[in-house]
Amino acid sequence: MELQSSLLMSAKVRFVDARLALVHIPLDQYQTYLQSLLRLIFPTSQPIGAVEEASHQSESGLSWVNRYPFLNVSITPIECSIICPKVFAEDLFAAPRQVAVSSADTRHGATVSSEDFVVMSVEGEGLEAGKRVLELTSPLALAGISIFFFTTYFSDYILVPAKSKVQVVRALEDRGFELEAGAEAYVNPAAHHHRNKSSTSSFSPVSPSTPPPATVGELQARTFALLKRREIVPRVDANLRLLNCAGRRDYPSNFSTNEMGLQNGLTKSLLYQPRFLSLTLTESDPASLLLEKGLVSNFDVDNVLLCNRDDLLVPVMLDLTPLPLEATGIVCGVADRLAGHTKGDVFASAIDMSYLSTARTGTVVVEERALDHAMEALHIGEHDVLEH
């Protein structure tokens, strides 16, 4: 879909052709699953089961960086989370699970989502990252659709349950988007379209027990009431700083060398369970990396990574384990508090932010200099912040 609005001019939003699964690995089982993780990112030439498809692609000359329609591997201080094509998730993480789970207590092994997910890619300019998160998620949040959101170096991605795809389309159509003839895209024919009906009128097959919020402001209030009720508070690691990086593709003649250097750096970083690393791979873009700054030394930065070492970022983590996977409105509610309305007129400007969803964690990423500002906007006092 092509978004034409005063905020997101020339944005392109498309469904990626893939059925995806969500994998959660407890941190204490990271080493058990490490080999499966490396095989997923760098398929071997001796495939087993579903991995054969990726290996055949490798033999045909397709780079490991662009082998998957969508792949995200994230290690945070709370969990290891993977989003990948479902066939690979089942093939690679079933066997190690038998090793990890040596008793009836299955909480210690990896869990693979039973339902399928689909992902939308968003490309475009015209908004700061935080405003973009809010603009993209609000129609779906008001429609009661559960989402996962990823801000990467190049694009944004929204993961939704495959069963909700029709609801997603209807929610977007309710905002004025129409299917463009002969294209797998949606366009908004009016740059300043005004809806004539409720954002929840056309998509929900079952009436919810609680009416959906009518406005983003109401959704924000519900979100923070829920977080408070479930005793979910932000966590900040006082010593953890991140850098947003991408794989270099400056010169075609150096692609092979650059990607070998990227592979070596990633392997070094993954071997010893990093505190924070998020890798996103797609069919069209170079690799996107959000990683703790100390890991950058594993890479030949000048030749392998696009990275500004002065732009330090801080992850503010929400452990969402107490909430059901289908919980809605979290991303939009947090984005509205930071990048939208914040605290009325108390702050002179909104807080720029990006967002990373993982299986059981929501991570807000802000600039180091904006951390105190962000915490104030979230109504978080020092006594509420868990520091390590």
Long-range contacts of 341-349 (CB under 8 A, 24+ apart): 341/216, 341/217, 341/220, 342/377, 343/376, 343/377, 347/373, 347/377
Q: Does residue 373 register a pLDDT over 50?
A: yes
Q: pLDDT by residue (tens digit) across 301-339?
A: 777 899 888 899 999 999 999 998 888 889 998 888 887
Q: pLDDT by residue (tens digit) across 127-157?
A: 567 777 887 788 889 889 999 999 999 889 9
Greater confidence (105 vs 26) lies with: 26
Q: Within its chain, how far is the Cα of 352 from the centroid?
A: 17
pLDDT at 349 (0 to 100): 66
Q: pLDDT by residue (tens digit) across 39-63?
A: 999 986 434 444 455 444 444 456 8
Q: Does residue 344 register a pLDDT over 50?
A: no
Q: Does residue 11 register a pLDDT over 70?
A: no
pLDDT at 245 (0 to 100): 95
Average pLDDT value over all residues in the chain? 78
pLDDT at 133 (0 to 100): 84
Query: Strands, DSSP E only, in 10-132?
Result: 11-15, 20-25, 70-75, 80-85, 111-112, 117-123
Q: pLDDT by residue (tens digit) across 233-285?
A: 988 998 999 999 999 876 655 667 788 899 999 999 999 999 999 999 999 89
Q: What is the pTM of this model?
A: 0.83
